[in-house]
Amino acid sequence: MKHPLQLMLAIANMPVACLAASPYAGDQSRTIKSLSQQEVTDYLSGKGMGFAKAAELNGYPGPAHVLELPEKLQLSPAQSARTEQIFGRMQARVRELGAKLVEAERNLDHSFAEKTISPESLATSVDWIGKVQSEIRAAHLQARLEQSEILAAVQTAKYWHLRGYANPDSTHLDGTLAADCPVPPFAP
């Protein structure tokens, strides 16, 4: 094996094209290395961030999107009020959890930066972060369950179309074409 100094000189003399930059290049200057500023903002503001895709793409409307489409979905005043309640509860919960998650990621980052991380503190931190992420996802999905209970099937189908999932050329999991399917697949 080459001497470490020889290896370092060989790498230093490689053409720049041979040295691929890490996809993380530039992220070392982030305040929290594992989260972009957009992710921090999204967590703190309660954005969906794809946490509810399992529900959304299987016919469970999201309250935020329903509130964006009240006329097109022909929501009744009672449906609008209930949707606002669901959304408000969900937002309050996910913002609270988002703040906890950002703080936990900040603490984990700090532990690595300060070289104070240990196997035990790492396990504790990662377990906590996973628990908070799980609760955020559950809150988003739970809101979808509640929302599906207050919309009529025709409103859910309209939502499906308005959100762009009824592309006539798309195929559902069961093999049917979206154009042949007036309601979302697996609708509640």
Residue 21 lies in a domain: no
pLDDT of residue 166: 82
- Kind and range of the H or E element at 147? helix 119-150
Count of the separate structural domains present in the chain: 1
Model-level pTM?
0.78
**Which residue segment(s) compose the domain that 41 sits in?**
37-163
CA quadruple 36, 40, 45, 46: dihedral sign: positive
Residue 188 lies in a domain: no
Residue 98 lies in a domain: yes
Residue 83 lies in a domain: yes
Residue 5 lies in a domain: no
Residue 185 lies in a domain: no
Which tokens is 92 given?
């309050």
**pLDDT truncated to tens, each residue of the chain (188 aa)?**
556 666 556 656 656 555 567 888 888 888 999 999 999 999 999 999 999 999 999 999 999 999 999 999 999 999 999 999 999 999 999 999 999 999 999 999 999 999 999 999 999 999 999 999 999 999 999 999 999 999 999 999 999 999 998 866 654 444 544 555 555 655 55
Residue 93 DSSP label: H
